[in-house]
Amino acid sequence: MIRGTCTMPFGFAIAALIATGAVAQSPDGTRDRSQLPQPVYKVAQNLADAGNAQAPAAATPNQGQTPAAPAAEHPLEPALKIAYASLATIQHDIKDYSATMVKRERIGGTLHENEFMYVKVRHQPFSVYMYFLAPASLKGQEALFVAGKNDDKLIGHGVGVRKILGTVHLDPTGAVAMSGQRYPITELGIENLTKRLIQVAENDKKFGECEVKFFNGAKINGRTSTCIQVTHPVPRKNFLFNVARVFVDDEMHVPVRYEAYEWPAAPGGQPQLLEEYTYLNMKLNNGFTDADFDENNKAYGFH
């Protein structure tokens, strides 16, 4: 067990992630949309290093020999237990939530700038309302989606020159809606994120070359989280990332940040950021109604 202050490996400069002050919120909220988060990121202690756990070598059975010890647990098992527990919490205890979501993605080899969005999410039926806070080129843009309604179309409107198109109804997985996005709006939110993390971990559990570390005391917007870091040292077709980190809020028991890195482009280089998503100022169980996901809501700007 290693104790003491831990700095993140690879010397990553993690920018524009976490806010310590007021964060711009919804178009019908009380905070100023012009105030955006300042970057703050902390990780306190490395509590456990699962390392490269390997099953003990099989012994040739001999008469009277003591049976071999059972194979060691895969390093991902403790992380999976946390993920399944988080999913149960989300599905059983959380009906809806609001948050300021910070997103950054690499698309077509280009790492895009951070996007800040105020979001409302309801689980049944799955519903999303999104208001863009930044960058300036997107500020004021809105989108909403309700499963099973509006012909399962994304409803949105742009800003600037795109505003002349007015409110549009789009296939959420179509080329227009997916432009500049890694995932459609139908996959947004902490429940979908948790399901995706479980799916990837269950796949990775079939293989070796996996190192898992737990960091206690990670601070996300002043809130304490546990950081789970998974590393695949060698590029393999079975793995989607070199390094991934999941931050689970210690009080809410849900993931509030995910970041993933590709392998270095050249030997000795640093891993390259692939995607990162952070949920700030999350408020649970607001009692959202259909009006919160209605394009005719007078607090919104769809018409």
- Taking a C-beta distance cutoff of 8 angstroms, is the pair 79, 85 a contact? no
User: Is 272 buried (19+), middle (13-18) or exposed (0-12) by CB count in 10 A?
Assistant: middle
- Cα distance between residue 134 and residue 115, in whole Å: 6
pLDDT in tens, 220-252: 999 999 999 999 999 999 999 999 999 999 999
pLDDT in tens, 1-34: 322 223 333 223 233 333 333 344 445 544 443 4
Provide the residue count of the chain.
303
pTM (2 decimals)?
0.79
Q: What is the pLDDT of residue 76?
A: 96
Domain 40-50+73-293 has CATH 1.10.220.10: no
pLDDT in tens, 274-296: 999 999 999 999 999 999 999 99
Token duo for residue 222:
């002043």
- Cα distance between residue 288 and residue 14, in whole Å: 34
Q: Give, in order, the Cα–Cα distances in Å from 211 to each of 148, 236, 243, 283.
A: 41, 14, 9, 33
Residue showing tokens 């149960």: 88
DSSP helix, strand, coil percent of the chain (3-state; round to 5): 20, 30, 50
- Residue type at 70 in one-letter notation: P
Neighbours of 208 (CB within 10 A): 15
Token duo for residue 80:
């999976």
Token duo for residue 151:
């012909």
